[in-house]
Structure 1
């Protein structure tokens, strides 16, 4: 082989080897950095832009796509210890002409965290309303989506600010007395009795605990490499003290049934999506909402756990779009009648 041709292959091989080696090194040595890069790339690929909004000295971090138009804007509220990027799997299946807003909940990710802040459900509702006012999202009624803790907040928000919410999607929401008990609910009772907060299943501090949390939250058994589990833990550990405080605030008596206390005040057409095999918040909560909210549409997903957004993102997006179309058609029919 000609020496110049051989050198060309060596240079080409070296050029390819550098990013491959960098990826492998990141995977093995800095998995948390790789996870952050992953979300950054996915946001760019889906056209989501990150912005900041300020209410006095309080900072909100959010991502958005599109602009307000004829169709209602969609505001998405994530669950406990998650962040705005958890919605990316659903955003992937939503039309690009919709105006989408995903906000980091109070104290999470890029939104201000303060030991003086009120992280009860009412406190979070107040903060989300400040965010809505900041970005002028309430110039006309919007569609509100919330999952788990975010579902509790979304339901109470719709009850307290009915003029701002034209429709509501609650994905396995917290804040209810669930007729059917489960293992996690029993744990909560034991937690109150023992007052031990060092072993909360939703706050892992080791890769093994992270694996157990994923099993608790998902019906689908994801095969997650040890390095990625370590990366997920590394990302969370600096925030675990805050998560413990937040967890105790939202399971406190003044917050734990807040959605139940407010559901009769919800006037907006409401959609409930729940995983039938949810081990965290029992699916029996769907009947509680259906029996109290006048215009309530319930969808129970088979072979799905608590992490509906991650396990069934395409189905979740489809159900939301179908619900929005139904609400829109119903409103048009009322106008023509």
Structure 2
């Protein structure tokens, strides 16, 4: 064999080895450490979308949050995630929002990188106080901002808007809990069974096996996603160390102070309100949208066909468009009001 051929063979071997190593590492990670891959996935998408992660400390309490953009003449947008979620819950929606907007996604009390203290902080009133503490710490309320909340975060967002009206210019609630919806859902039936068992049965929103994780996805989404077993295991591995905390939070948000907190505060909401809801929601029935609209004058309802409770995951592009339309519309109305005065 000629020297040139030997050199070419060596190059091919080196190239193959170079490609093989990351492929083997990826496959090993996928098979052995799927939870690590999920964390890398979130890191990658934050980086791709231009989000930065920071922490804010207030009297020894730490809030973890991500943000993109800087405050300007447009309202900033603060996003509050759902029960057992985290700031990265919003990544699929942020992908469809303009990069010039100032976006802030905070980990709710006790979730992900935000401090865990005691159960008082996990009730809806307790979470509202902590989120207000965060807003003041990062000085987000230097001018009124748009507040978005989904599910538990929607309950918190609505009560926040009622308690701190001067902070808010407008608000979007996505499938919020905390209202007395006339129609029962599959989850309501689970909740009744849980209460009758004195909470000895497994909570459907706190899975302990890959099968239960899959059942939770079926409950929360109308769109059927095919999720590989390894990914289900990875998601479970990420969540399981926090299950005791999730149980504490769950017991608080279905407790007397929290269960219908949004309903009890609706009459105090003065900011323009948008409600987005999946018509096939099996966790919090879409009939709750009409309940909110009946109490809050001028409420805008956007009800999505073929969509369940996980609106942000199932319809990220449509949801982003609806929020943006609403924010721009309210901004134009404020501009017109200033001109006429």
Query: Which category describes the TM-score, using the shorter chain as reference length?
Result: over 0.9
Q: Distance in 2 between matches of 1:190 and 1:34?
A: 36
Residue 193 of structure 1, CA deviation: 2.5
Written as runs of structure 1 = structure 2, the 5 A alignment for 1:70-219 is 70-115=73-118, 117-219=120-222
The 3-state SS of whatever aligns with 1:322 is helix
What is the TM-score of this pair, normalised by structure 2? Answer: 0.97
The 3-state SS of whatever aligns with 2:72 is coil
Return structure 1 stretches of 4+ with deviation > 4 angstroms: none
Contact 1:132–1:138 (8 Å) recurs in 2: yes
Contact 1:144–1:154 (8 Å) recurs in 2: yes
Q: CA RMSD in A?
A: 1.0
Residue 136 of structure 1, CA deviation: 0.2
Q: Distance in 2 between matches of 1:24 and 1:3?
A: 31
Q: Determine if the alignment matches structure 1 residue 13 to structure 2 residue 13.
A: no
Q: Determine if the alignment matches structure 1 residue 220 to structure 2 residue 223.
A: yes
CA offset digits 1:48-97 (Å, max 9, x no partner): 00000011010000000011000000000000000000101111111111
Q: Distance in 2 between matches of 1:193 and 1:221?
A: 30
The 3-state SS of whatever aligns with 2:307 is coil
Contact 1:42–1:88 (8 Å) recurs in 2: yes
- Which residue is equivalent to 2:259? 256
- Which residue is equivalent to 1:290? 293
Contact 2:190–2:204 (8 Å) recurs in 1: no
The answer for unaligned runs of 5 or more in structure 1 is none
The 3-state SS of whatever aligns with 2:35 is helix
1:242 aligned residue (242, 245, 248) = 245
Q: Determine if the alignment matches structure 1 residue 268 to structure 2 residue 258.
A: no
- Which residue is equivalent to 1:325? 328
The answer for unaligned runs of 5 or more in structure 2 is none
Q: Distance in 2 between matches of 1:276 and 1:197?
A: 31
Residue 118 of structure 1, CA deviation: 2.5
Q: Distance in 2 between matches of 1:314 and 1:108?
A: 26
Q: Distance in 2 between matches of 1:250 and 1:146?
A: 15
Q: Distance in 2 between matches of 1:103 and 1:197?
A: 32
Q: Distance in 1 between matches of 2:200 and 2:16?
A: 52
The 3-state SS of whatever aligns with 1:277 is coil
